[in-house]
Amino acid sequence: MTTDPAAADDPSPDRRRVVVLAGPSGSGKTRLAGRLHLEHGWPVVRLDDFYRDLDDPALPRDEALGIVDWDHPGSWNAPAAVAALVALVDTGTMTAPVYDIATSRAVGQHEVSAGPGDLVVAEGIFAADIVTALRDAGVLYAAWCIHHRPSVTFVRRLARDLAERRKPPPVLLRRGWALMRAEPGIVARLTALGAVGARPTDVERMLRTRGVAVR
């Protein structure tokens, strides 16, 4: 049996539970979630879709860069994400927003469904912020912080953001350099919140065996 200190045990093998994939922006969380969906059929919840709209007065700002600080935990709605995930585990369905990063606002909604015994893959840069809430709600299976070397993450993130035209290139470069310097601290923060540091291949291997770990 594989053990993992980030996972919660559950006496019911048919109960749906949540796998949290946290990590710095560009670390490969979305690609890993996609592979898990293709291999196992598990539903994926993009927690970045719970970002706040650009005109939300609660959004924090990065005064040094003169822009909204989208890397601050206050830039997304954690309680709404937790409520949606608990609903998905309890009922087998949830309604999630569709967030457009280019315009920085939700542009619609979509339904996510899960079958009995499914693991629900919840991925996002702030995913670790809800580990405790999910554990307290009895729906957590495991939580990981996906990461690589900061230079690798920088290149992957910049290529992705430029391809998707998320923000103007100068903004992406300034933000990218800042995130690369901050990455060790980001990883330390996420692991302190309960996400175990791991490479994507290690997570895939552990989930493939479905070894239930203890807290």
Residue 186: predicted pLDDT: 83
Amino acid 4: pLDDT: 47
- Greater confidence (78 vs 150) lies with 78
3-state secondary structure the chain: CCCCCCCCCCCCCCCCEEEEEECCCCCCHHHHHHHHHHHHCCCEEEHHHHECCCCCCCCCEECCCCEECCCCHHHECHHHHHHHHHHHHHHCEEEEEEEECCCCEEEEEEEEECCCCCEEEEECCCHHHHHHHHHHCCCEEEEEEECCCHHHHHHHHHHHHHHCCCCCHHHHHHHHHHHHHHHHHHHHHHHHCCCEEECHHHHHHHHHHCCCCCC
Domains along the sequence of the chain with CATH: 17-209 (3.40.50.300)
Provide the pLDDT confidence category of residue 63 given band limits of 50, 70 and 90.
confident
For 93-127, the pLDDT digits (tens) are 999 999 998 888 999 999 999 999 899 999 998 89
- pTM, to two decimals: 0.77
What are the pLDDT digits (tens) for 73-90?
Answer: 889 999 999 999 999 999
Condensed to tens digits (0 to 9), the pLDDT of residues 162-186 reads 666 666 767 666 666 666 666 777 8
Question: Is 80 exceeded by the pLDDT of residue 11?
Answer: no
